[in-house]
Chain A
Amino acid sequence: MDQLKKRWISLYVENDVGVLAKISGLFSGKSYNLLSLTVGETEDPTVSRMTISLRGDDKTFEQIKKQLNRSVEVIKVLDFTDLPIHKKEILFIKMHSLKKEEIEEIFRSAKVFGVNVCDYDKNALILESLKTESENDDVLRYYKKYFSTRMEAVRGGSVAIESVSRSER
């Protein structure tokens, strides 16, 4: 049965001006639902690699892969949806106007969640979380509960790479 499943694509593209616009334009122009898109250079500086997550049914997803494949700028399309992969996202949360007890509380919770305090001042700090997207969702949800008016968050979007040892996702 078709379902709006979350999908992962890893895309090798030419590292050229306009390629990001081409790929993102394809998604917007054809009304495909994009969740996140990250891009960066690879070991070969003429090639960039994108990690794209999206939600869609099987038919739309097939069409997206075909549309990506037919783009001259796209070198390779890898479907990571059902493959064992490593994926991580960076999340920064800056919190300010904190009381002493609150800072202590944050240090404690950070330890539990496995996130780092990467910057610190008397009444402010920054958390750095390198986790999967959904784990970061949880981290963010927790701090929003208590500090929503005194925080800012920035997320990098996921990058993913195929596993060398795992056989299951």
Chain B
Amino acid sequence: MKIKGTQLFIKALVAEGVDTLFAYPGGMAIDLFDALYGEKSFRVVLPRHEQGLVHAADGYARATGKTGVCLVTSGPGATNLVTGIATANFDSVPLVCFTGQVPTNLIGNDAFQEVDIVGICRSICKYAVTVRRREDLGRIIKEAFYIARTGKPGPVLVDFPKDIQQELGSDEYPSEVSIRGYKPSSGVHMGQLKKAAEMLANAKRPLFLAGGGVNVSRANAEMTRLAEVLNVPVVTTIMGKGALPTDHPLYIGNMGMHGNVAANTAVTECDLLFSIGTRFNDRITGKISEFAKGAKIIHIDIDAASISRNIVVDVPIVADAKEAIVKFSEIAKVPARTGDWVERLQNLKAEHPIRMASSGALLTPQDVIEGINRNFSEAIVTTDVGQNQMWTTQFLQLRGKSRLITSGGLGTMGFGLPSAVGAKLGCPDLPVVSVSGDGGFQMNEQELATAVCEELPIVICVLNNSYLGNVRQWQEMFYGGRYSCTCLEKRRSCGDWCSHPSAKCPPYIPDFVKLAESYGIEGIRVTERGQIDSAFEQAKKNTKAPTLIEFVIEREANILPMVPGGNALSDMITEYGKEKK
């Protein structure tokens, strides 16, 4: 039977098991939307901006482990995806993004709403392709899903011209894929694993470093068991947080630029660093020449290109984290004496907890994140980028089904709210909490409407310090307090640039509580520690709608400890300015 390209598109999504489609219509996608009309096989969600759309698909994918699917129109619809595609690419999130395109005979004509989106996205996605012939459509969609979710997952873009959408052709959707240039690695090199087992057995101060790969391959239980059996302590990158429950005695903490003292000391002092699923980027390593200087390094990663790229390793192992951990568990030998080492790190952790100084009744971000810990035994927590993200990664407890969803690689502002929308759509039975700063929240605040229309009871936390806080912190610490363009209260009438807030500062805009009310939802402003729990309790009562909680926090709170860029991990700033005890 001959069917239209649009009909094959729907058939393909059904065959791929898609249950949620994030879609925003437009001229070059209108035929696809017509085919979606009345479709009952999956849910079609209409965000309010394509950037919010792709972050929502990303949050959905990270929360569920399934592939997030986007559909937008050509031109601006497509270019609005760019930041979200790069975000997903950096953090290995499987997405398939369909973009409408002008008819093939107009491509290259500078037609209305025509852009070369494949060209634009080539370097920020796993694969990008234009469908040029109707007969290729089924194969291309099949390949797109396959490429997105296998190997190191990532975003795939399928550019879909309007004439191909309309053209009649085969109704067949292939069940098999064979791509000669794409063979995702499978299996583990047992010889290398044995070498690793030998080194681990002889190590005195072994340490696991778990990166995002452990979470991506959902190897958390296996990772925990392995650490327990071997009695080897674990530190994580931000993306690896949750590899072990955060209250596990073998979990030492996050390492890196804003890691805790014990975790960074562990990396510096270990004699064997067994790292899984991290690419050792600059926020992780600090000064490369000082990184784990006395240690042998084992590195498991699914991406051969991530191995020995930044850090030269002794035993490279190209494999999926979960598969490698399972296989390694079968042959691993318990190292003889790690008891003292574990104890030392546990003591260090107890002696140097991350604790934010508080001045009086003013809220600290720590209070807020600990409020989340108290009020939600399990939750998916999403963040923006910046201070809100770092504080969340420092203080958030992850246990059970809890999961942290954060833009680790690209560091995208405006990610928190839309990714929470997607996470809740994918995991309706888990509480979903987003944490944003006042700056990042405003980058995609229009997605409040999506949360309302989809009746999603997410809890939206805005940490308001009226600053683009992370940059402000750097300006305070390294640029002489010159707060250039980081104060969100500054108005023309303020006159000169300033370097400190004062009583004369203009009121903050927008009024987040009123903003929430304009969307018909409850907005709560919390200014004191004592109000935190009641705000969360109130939010939990709203079971069909989101709740926005604005936490007015101390304006110039800093993230500490901090390893300034280019310093060795051992060279941490633990006290600074007013935070000095």
On A, residues with C-beta under 8 Å from B are: 13-14, 17-18, 21-22, 25-26, 29, 59, 62-63, 66-67, 69-75
Contacts and interface: CB of A to CB of B under 8 A. Distances in A.
A25 B303 contact: no
10 contacts: A25-B122, A25-B123, A62-B308, A63-B305, A63-B309, A66-B305, A69-B305, A72-B127, A72-B147, A75-B181
Contacts of B303: 70
A152 B347 CA distance: 75
Nearest to A73: B181
Given A13-B181, A72-B127, 18 more contacts: A14-B181, A17-B132, A21-B122, A25-B123, A26-B123, A29-B123, A59-B308, A62-B308, A63-B305, A67-B305, A69-B304, A69-B305, A70-B303, A70-B304, A70-B305, A71-B181, A72-B182, A75-B181
Contacts of A75: 180-181
Nearest to B312: A59
Nearest to B180: A75
Nearest to A69: B304
A143 B393 CA distance: 66
B126 interface: yes
A145 to B, nearest CB: 42
Contacts of B181: 13-14, 71-75
Interface in B285-311: 303-305, 308-309
A67 B309 CA distance: 11
Contacts of A13: 181
A72 B179 contact: yes
Contacts of A71: 181
A14 B128 CA distance: 14
A9 to B, nearest CB: 15
B130 interface: yes
A25 to B, nearest CB: 6
B118 interface: yes
Nearest to A67: B305
Interface in B173-232: 179-182
B119 interface: yes
Interface residues of B, number: 19
A72 B147 CA distance: 8
6 closest cross-chain pairs (CB), A and B: A66-B305, A75-B181, A72-B127, A72-B182, A29-B123, A66-B304
B122 A18 contact: yes
A71 B179 CA distance: 12
Contacts of A29: 123
Nearest to B182: A72
A59 B126 CA distance: 23
Nearest to A18: B118
Nearest to A16: B129
Q: Which has the most chain A C-beta neighbours within 10 Å: B122, B128, B303?
A: B122
Contacts of B118: 18
A28 B136 CA distance: 31
Nearest to A64: B305
Q: Which has the most chain A C-beta neighbours within 10 Å: B119, B128, B304?
A: B304
Contacts of A26: 123
Contacts of B305: 63, 66-67, 69-70
B180 A18 contact: no
A85 to B, nearest CB: 23
Nearest to B143: A72
A69 B181 CA distance: 8
Nearest to A62: B308
B142 to A, nearest CB: 14
A53 to B, nearest CB: 21
A22 to B, nearest CB: 6
A154 B119 CA distance: 29
A69 B147 CA distance: 14
B126 A72 contact: yes
B311 to A, nearest CB: 11
A22 B125 CA distance: 11
A74 to B, nearest CB: 5
Interface string B128-168: 10101000000000000001000000000000000000000
Nearest to A12: B181
A106 B227 CA distance: 77
Interface in B75-133: 118-119, 122-123, 126-128, 130, 132
B299 to A, nearest CB: 14
A19 to B, nearest CB: 10
B409 to A, nearest CB: 16
Nearest to B305: A66
Contacts of B132: 17
A138 to B, nearest CB: 38
A17 B126 contact: no
Nearest to B304: A66
Interface in B318-343: none
Contacts of B127: 72
B150 to A, nearest CB: 11
A47 to B, nearest CB: 9
Contacts of A21: 119, 122
A71 B128 CA distance: 11
Nearest to A46: B180
B129 to A, nearest CB: 8
A18 B147 contact: no
A28 B308 CA distance: 21
A26 B124 CA distance: 11
A29 B123 CA distance: 8
Contacts of A73: 181
A62 B309 CA distance: 9
A85 B181 CA distance: 24
Contacts of B179: 72
A69 B182 CA distance: 9
Nearest to A22: B122
Contacts of A22: 122
A104 B128 CA distance: 56
A26 B122 CA distance: 9
Contacts of B309: 63
Interface string B11-26: 0000000000000000
Nearest to A70: B305
B355 to A, nearest CB: 41
B164 to A, nearest CB: 15
Contacts of B130: 17-18
